A and B are shown apart, each in its own frame.
Chain A
Amino acid sequence: AIQLTQSPSSLSASVGDRVTITCRASQGISSALAWYQQKPGKAPKFLIYDASSLESGVPSRFSGSGSGTDFTLTISSLQPEDFATYYCQQFNSYPLMYTFGQGTKLEIK
């Protein structure tokens, strides 16, 4: 089964910082990767699909890139509402399993 490894597991940053989170797949998954944001006690929020396509309504400070095994989520200028946990998820495996990464907790410095 394909494994997704996110790094770092946690990150402290300040409002206005540029932040990058990495997601590495154990084997190539083309561009079949999505990113989610989750705040405590809430359901995940869909951010990005196909590795780099921004979901409608998501602020443009969020961007995604990558293909194959290495992917990144970048927040260009952190806002107070961006402090949350972020997960990647892959959609390209046989047998089919929509694996999630372990999450990256983004905290205020």
Chain B
Amino acid sequence: EVQLLESGGGLVQPGGSLRLSCAASGFTFSSYAMSWVRQAPGKGLEWVSTINNSGSSTYYADSVKGRFTISRDNSKNTLYLQMNSLRAEDTAVYYCAKELISLIEVADGRGFDYWGQGTLVTVSS
């Protein structure tokens, strides 16, 4: 059974940093691109970042570019999101999500077939 379990959320002051983790199990983690998606309270889904299966290619939404860094450790089956210079508008539930198809280029993505339960990040003084 595929499982994605996020952790690391919490309350942080504006300008602060936080690192989210997503522990994956039930599939060959190193074969799949992975993504982070967020949802502000009462709002829609926003794609944040994607990393290819090997970790050699990363992509970001304009809203987080230069502040967030996605990475992965395939030996630990874990996805990360390092968030720096946090702003109030980064307040959201952050989900990690798995790409549908294995061993494809990120540009050929097809969909996110499994999602974690989400971790809440609150940026407030």
Max count, chain B CB within 10 A of own CB: residue among A44, A45, A55, A95: A44
Interface size on A, residues (CB 8 A): 27
Kindly state the separation between the CA atoms of A48 and B107 in the bound complex, as whole angstroms.
18
Residues of chain B within 8 A (CB-CB) of A102 are: 44
**Complex: how many Å from CA A36 to CA B114?**
11
- Is there contact, CB below 8 Å, between A87 and B113? no
- B interface footprint on A53-80 (CB within 8 Å = 1, 0 otherwise): 0010000000000000000000000000
Q: Bin chain B's interface residue count.
A: 20 to 34
Cα(A43)–Cα(B98), bound, Å: 13
Number of inter-chain CB pairs below 8 Å: 69
Q: Give the secondary structure class of A's interface.
A: loop
Q: Measured between C-beta atoms, what is the minimum distance from B39 to chain A in Å?
A: 8
Q: How far is the CA of A1 from the CA of B59 in the complex (A)?
A: 14
Pick the residue among A46, A50, A94 that contacts B112 (CB under 8 A): A46
Q: Choose, from B13-21, B72-80, B82-90, B115-123, the stretch at the interface.
A: B115-123
- Out of A1, A43, A89, A103, name the residue touching B111 (CB < 8 Å): A89
Question: A100 contacts B111, CB within 8 Å?
Answer: no
Contact of A43 with B110 in the complex, beta carbons under 8 Å: no
A96, B59: Cβ atoms under 8 Å? yes
Name the A residues within 8 Å of B107 (CB-CB). 94, 96
Report the separation of the CA atoms of residues A45 and B114 in the bound assembly, to the nearest whole angstrom: 8
Confirm or deny: A34 has a beta carbon within 8 angstroms of a beta carbon on chain B: yes
The residues of B that contact A89 with a CB separation of less than 8 Å are 45, 47, 111-112
Question: What distance in Å separates the Cβ of B119 from its nearest Cβ neighbour in chain A?
Answer: 11
Residues of chain B within 8 A (CB-CB) of A103 are 44-45
| Inter-subunit contact A98/B50 (CB<8 Å) | yes
Please list the 6 inter-chain residue pairs (A to B) with the smallest Cβ-Cβ separation, ordered nearest first.
A34-B111, A49-B111, A43-B115, A98-B47, A91-B109, A103-B44
Q: Chain A interface (Cβ within 8 Å of chain B)?
A: 1, 32, 34, 36, 38, 43-46, 48-50, 55, 85, 87, 89, 91, 94-103
